[in-house]
Amino acid sequence: MENEKELLLALSKGSERALEAFFTAYYNDMLLFAGTYIKDVPTCEDIVQQVFVNLWEKHEEASTIVSMKSFLLKAVQNGCLYELRRLQVKAKYEDLVARNPEIYDYETENYLLRSELQKHLRIALQRLTPVQRQCFEMYKMEGMKQRQIAEQLGIPLRTVELRISEAVKFLRQYFEHYLLAIIFLLNF
């Protein structure tokens, strides 16, 4: 392009016409170049279009580009390589799932069970007194020492120990029936 430097400067100032000029001049070349890596035309189109979107989003930096064609070629190459890596990872995962479907069913069941337990834990924690809940969460969920909790809340260490003990006792009772149901379902 004859006036590439002027267009780069205009693009860096937010000129849509400059972006349009680059798009018109280089889109087809970039599409063909992407096709040397990826044989799927819609995927190539997506990659090249994303390169131009990224160029527009960072148009303020356009004045630092020395050669637009070199810049676009490198950006399209990176986009294609990223897509190829993504497809490779996806293929490996699909192959792994196809060979070991029971592992992923088990993981799904575990996730559902954990999320259900977390839901019930939130409900149970709401039933504690505010001090019990705060002490328990600081101790079990934040990993603080009982002495640290006492200092932070400005209450005696013995009170912290007592509130945590009360919370654990309540939670054991709360989850007793729930856990029996889970054990029954797992053995069913």
pLDDT of 101 higher than 70: no
Gyration radius (Cα) of the chain, Å: 30
Domains of the chain: total: 2
Please tell me whether residues 43 and 125 are part of one structural domain.
no
pLDDT at 188: 45
Domain holding 128: CATH number?
Answer: 1.10.10.10
pLDDT of 77 higher than 70: yes
pLDDT of 164 higher than 70: yes
The pTM of the full predicted model, rounded to 2 decimals, is 0.53
Please tell me whether residues 130 and 50 are part of one structural domain.
no
- pLDDT tens figures, 134-152: 999 999 888 999 999 999 9
Domain holding 88: CATH number?
Answer: 1.10.1740.10
**Counting Cβ atoms within 10 Å, is residue 94 exposed (0-12), middle (13-18) or buried (19+)?**
exposed
| Averaged pLDDT, 75-80 | 96
pLDDT at 147: 94
Instruction: Name the region of 143 (left: φ>0; alpha: ψ -120 to 50; beta: rest).
Output: left
Please tell me whether residues 90 and 18 are part of one structural domain.
yes
Residues spanned by the domain of 22? 4-98
SS (H, E, C) 148-159: HHHHHHCCCHHH
